Chain A
Amino acid sequence: MAITGGTSGLGLALVRELLDRGARVAFVARGRDGVERVEHGYPDSHGIVGDVSKKSDIHPIAIQVVGMLGGLDVLINNASDLGPVPLALLADTDCEDLERALATNVLGPFRLTKAVLGALASSARESRGAVVLNISSDAAINAYPRWGAYGVSKAALHHLSRIWNEELASQGVAFLSLDPGDMDTPLHAVAVPDADPIELKRPEIAAVELVDAIGNLLSFMNSERVAEEAAR
């Protein structure tokens, strides 16, 4: 299983949760220091330094993910860019900030998924099932002022997930797009600095919910396949 943005917030909580459940986990993050820190804390994990927003980093990431794990069952596109900081009205948003949000939140997940799709489909053929989880947001659905760059990119990611799911269901690769809720994470702290952490969800709780959702989907796919084989 592979997670992008795995050294803080929800990504780190997902790394922990998956390791706790016995998965083999690779995670990706931009900063070498952060990657080494998490690897030190979780020696069973495989850390990869890379930036999903850069097209030239995608294959180095894919080579290391699939090369180290020997295959891939689950990809979680979690790394996200907020757009302008502090948040800004769209009319005040620099073009570069919107481009960066789209590169990290849409193009990155698209490219990385494309690069590992062969490995995912191969897992699916070996009856292990394959799932891509794209981390979404309520900003993907609702039009919140000042969340323009982020909201637009998450809306695109949400739709990307839905279309991909339609197109690849027959190959056994399923896509999830889930909103983990407002969490007490570094990203949220930058977006809403005066939020009361007590009011926010713990990322550990969200990680349990998301991993449960992946697990449920995999067992549903498995039961479908068993039923299909029995009918044949």
Chain B
Amino acid sequence: MTAAHLPIQRPRQAKLLVIDEQGRFRHWPRSRLVDVFRSRDLVVANDAATLPASLSGEHLRSGRLIEVRLAGRDSLATNEIRHWIAVVFGAGDFRVRTEDRPQPPELAPGDEFELGPLHATVERILGHPRLVRLAFDGSSKEILEGLAHHGRPIQYSHVKTPLALWDVWTPIAGPPVAFEAPSAGFVIDWRTLSSLKERGIRFATITHASGISSTGDPGLDALLPFDEPYSIPPSTALSVRDARAQNGRIIAVGTSVARALEAAAGLDGSVRAGEGVATQRIGSGSRLRVVDAMLSGTHEPDTSHHELLRAFVDDETLARMDWELNLRGYRTHEFGDSVFVERIEHPTGATRPNPLFLEPRDRRHVALHPQQRHHRRLP
């Protein structure tokens, strides 16, 4: 796939590949997105706003220039923003491919960084020479002000022009906690939200600190995604319950939503409201308890986002997806095209275990009643 290199969230010609529960493929203009949802479905998006998480500055001991990319936090608490996990790059910026970036100076606990108005100290090295835990000086208020003014959105070389936060905040962006844009949500604009309402399709949000997508270092990339804190509002947990009670599907907008909802899932497929940290990796063999379908960007094989799709469809379908996306000129990366993937029905005709129809001992293979199956088909 070619990279989408213009920072346009909703280009008019955007494409949407729909893979339904029977593994059928449809190619749609993405402007028809709302038609893949059905009355009583629940669409869940990540309302995290994107932090300007790229901080340029100096490694004081060596006097060398560095770029620090904030990449993780213990929680979403608004009063504790001193400590961060960060990936350190050598001199330069997004214009150079991350793979080709110079290494930063050797880092050690106690090293100090001057990052514009901010001052930070390395507390620990976290199992990789470029991955550190940082502590900023100052009050939460001073740190937030420094980040807001000095930071720039993290960006990669496929987009040539410097990004502003205007380019990367989703239309529904709220709490500033994401390290990179939850870009699957670019497509959910206010017109879409109005049409969902008109069609009786529920909408809810979670807040998930979406992490960085790539570091350019295979050893570091293998550690992605890092643990990501999330918060699920009570109204979202209730909407999940209501949608399931009415046999609607739970549709995650983006991998971050799938990760948060599954992290907060109970055995019965309900979702706990409150804060948590998503530590699990979703992939082949993961059993999804909550999410029935996902709207996502197009992802290249061998990325954690692509791996997550293996929880929804079998390898054969996934290979065909990769082939079709290439063949039909889908564009990839954050400003690219989209796929909608529904969990493929089990070969026996079973679909995701719906706890409302489960016998306690048989949670794995449950055939729904025929009319319910019919209800679950694409329009």
Residues of A near any B CB (own CB < 8 A): 46, 48-49, 55-56, 59-64, 66-72, 115-119, 121-122, 125-127, 167-168, 170-171
Tell me if B234 and A63 are in contact (CB < 8 A): no
B141–A68 CB distance below 8 A = yes
Q: Is B32 an interface residue (CB 8 A)?
A: no
Cross-chain pairs A/B with CB under 8 angstroms, 22 sampled: A48-B145, A56-B164, A59-B52, A59-B164, A59-B165, A60-B148, A66-B176, A67-B78, A67-B144, A67-B175, A70-B78, A71-B174, A71-B175, A115-B169, A118-B47, A118-B170, A119-B47, A119-B174, A119-B175, A122-B172, A171-B190, A171-B197
Binding site for A on B (CB under 8 A): 47, 49, 51-52, 78, 81, 140-141, 144-145, 147-149, 164-166, 169-176, 190, 193-194, 197, 204-205, 233-236
CA distance A72 to B78 in the complex (A): 13
Q: Is the CB of B78 within 8 A of A118?
A: no
Determine if A125 and B175 form an interchain contact, defined as CB atoms under 8 angstroms apart: no
Supposing A122-B47, A125-B235 touch, asked if A66 and B175 sit within 8 A by C-beta, the answer is yes
Instruction: Determine the chain A residues whose CB is within 8 A of the CB of B141 once the complex forms.
Output: 46, 64, 68
Minimum CB–CB distance for A55 against chain B, Å:
8
Of A72, A116, A119, the most chain B CB neighbours within 10 A belong to: A119
- Docked CA distance A171–B171 (Å): 13
A48 contacts which chain B residues (CB < 8 A)? 145
Please determine whether B144 and A70 come into contact, CB atoms closer than 8 angstroms.
Answer: no
Contact across chains for B174 and A66 when beta carbons are under 8 A apart? yes
Tell which of A63, A117, A119, A170 touches B51, judged by Cβ atoms closer than 8 Å.
Answer: A63
Contact A63 B144 (CB under 8 A): yes
> Whole-angstrom distance between the alpha carbons of A115 and B234 in the complex?
24
- Nearest opposing residue in chain B for A171, CB measure: B193
- Measured CA separation A67–B144 after assembly (Å): 8
Q: A68 CB to closest chain B CB, in angstroms?
A: 6
* Cα distance A118–B173 in the bound complex, in angstroms: 5
A126 CB to closest chain B CB, in angstroms? Answer: 5
**Choice from B149, B235, B236 contacting A60 with Cβ under 8 Å:** B149
- Give the 6 A-B residue pairs with the shortest CB-CB distance, closest first: A60-B148, A119-B174, A118-B174, A59-B165, A118-B172, A70-B78
Instruction: Kindly provide the distance from the CB of A197 to the nearest chain B CB, expressed in whole angstroms.
Output: 36
How near does chain A come to B184, taking the closest CB pair, in angstroms? 15
Q: Which residues of A contact B81 (CB under 8 A)?
A: 67
Give Cα A70–Cα B175 distance, bound, in whole angstroms.
7
- By CB atoms of chain A within 10 A, which of B51, B144, B175 has the most? B175
Question: CB < 8 Å: which of A49, A59, A61, A170 contacts B197?
Answer: A170
Residues of B within 8 A of A168 (CB): 190
Known: A63-B51, A119-B175, A127-B235. A68 touches B147 (CB 8 A): no
Extra A-B contacts (16), CB below 8 Å, given A62-B176, A118-B173 = A59-B166, A59-B169, A63-B49, A63-B52, A63-B176, A66-B176, A67-B148, A68-B140, A69-B78, A71-B175, A118-B47, A122-B47, A122-B205, A125-B233, A171-B190, A171-B194
Q: Is B51 touching A126 in the complex (CB atoms < 8 A)?
A: no
Output the least CB separation between A179 and chain B (Å). 28
> Which residues in B have their C-beta under 8 angstroms from that of A49?
145
- Residue numbers in A under 8 Å from B173 (CB-CB): 115, 118
